[in-house]
Amino acid sequence: MPLCLARIDDRLIHGQVVLGWARALKPDRIVVCNDRIAANTWERRFYTSSVPAHIKVSFFDLEETARQLLNNLFKNESVMLLFESAGDAWRVVEKGVSFVALNVWGPHYRKGAVELLPYVFLTDEDRGYLRELVKKSITLTAQDIPGNNPQVINSLVV
Amino acid sequence: MVKTIIVTHGNLAKELIQTAQVIIGDMEGVFSVSNDGKAPQMLCEEIEAIIEKHPDDRFIVFADFFGGSCCHACISVEDQCENVHLITGVNLPMLLAFINKRDAVAFDQLPEELIARGRDSMRSVRAEDL
């Protein structure tokens, strides 16, 4: 599965992803990797309806995401992976999947989260998962849309 | 009284309300929420908190457009709450119609009525065709 982007974004499929990233990177398929949404009909329909018809959309729970990535399915497609949280990305990496880089946008502000960047607010738990991802030599890049400059945040989370 | 919560990106909701007030005067039971910088869960909680403060009232929730994160949060709320109708694609004529019609039209008929008013205001206009 050639990955054109693997991104942690608590809004999953939204304007920045469809109009920003998908327009620039032209993926064949967007995969939402999330246990709740894989089991929730209205959310799957909602997210599918907000993507242009020429891009396929799949919803995998984290177990299935790891299986698909480890078995290199969709090998003829350019794929964009979306995770809701650092914890979800870690749960896939933990199963043996490796990423060169993860794009990080969000999590946005929630109670108890501390600002790392204006749109990245981390709880201790989030920070712990990001630290684990850094230990696997993954480059964590904060970047909202392709036109703006990426910022490597590895040194900020360890 | 039927109340409303307008949920949008940026300051659109607040400005829509302020603009409607210029036209129609002070409005009761009209709330604005912005998604700016907020995690999805927090956005839902903010909308739900307004509804929970008014347990005896019914709400028309407006979102800016179908498909965005505001809309996503509003659908979650609609799915959880009994006394809510959700309309996406809010515009100024719809909000003005809401203020005029909210207690004159049955709650279940309001969405259709307001959408008709919103659509009716969208026209390609040429002076010679009027």
Any A CB within 8 A of B72 CB = yes
In this complex, the residue of B37, B67, B79 whose CB is nearest that of residue A109 is B37
Q: Is the pLDDT of residue A113 over 80?
A: yes
Check CB contact of A10 with chain B, cutoff 8 Å. Answer: yes
pTM listed for this prediction: 0.90
Q: CA-to-CA distance for A14 and B70, rounded, in angstroms?
A: 10
Distance CA B45, CA B54 (A): 14
Confidence at A112, pLDDT banded by 50, 70, 90: confident
Please give the pLDDT value at position A16. 86
The count of other CB atoms within 10 Å of the CB of residue A117 is 14
Q: Does domain B7-103 have CATH number 2.30.40.10?
A: no
Q: Is B75 on the interface with A (CB under 8 A)?
A: yes
Angstrom CA distances, B109 to B22, B103, B104, B112, B114, stand at 27, 11, 10, 6, 9
For B69-114, how does the pLDDT look when each residue is reduced to its tens digit (9 = 90+)? 999 999 999 999 999 999 999 999 999 999 999 999 999 999 999 9
Domain count, chain A: 1
Cα A102 from Cα A139, distance rounded (Å): 6
Can you give chain B as a three-state secondary structure string? CCEEEEEECCCHHHHHHHHHHHHHCCCCCEEEEECCCECHHHHHHHHHHHHHCCCCCCEEEEECCCCCHHHHHHHHHHHHCCCEEEEECCCHHHHHHHHHHCCCCCHHHHHHHHHHHHHHCCCCCCHHHC
Please, which pLDDT band fits residue A1 given cuts at 50, 70 and 90? Answer: low
The answer to whether residue B38 neighbours chain A at the CB level (below 8 Å) is yes
What is the predicted pLDDT for the residue at A126? 94
Q: A75: domain CATH number?
A: 3.40.35.10
Q: In what order do the strands lie in the sheet with B30-34?
A: B30-34, B3-8, B59-63, B84-88
CA angle, corner A139, sides to A133 and A140, nearest 5? Answer: 75
Residue A80 near residue A27 (C-beta atoms within 8 A): yes
Place A73 in a pLDDT band, splitting at 50, 70 and 90. Answer: confident
Under an 8 A CB cutoff, do A50 and B39 touch?
no
Partners of B40 on chain A (C-beta within 8 Å) are 10-11, 108
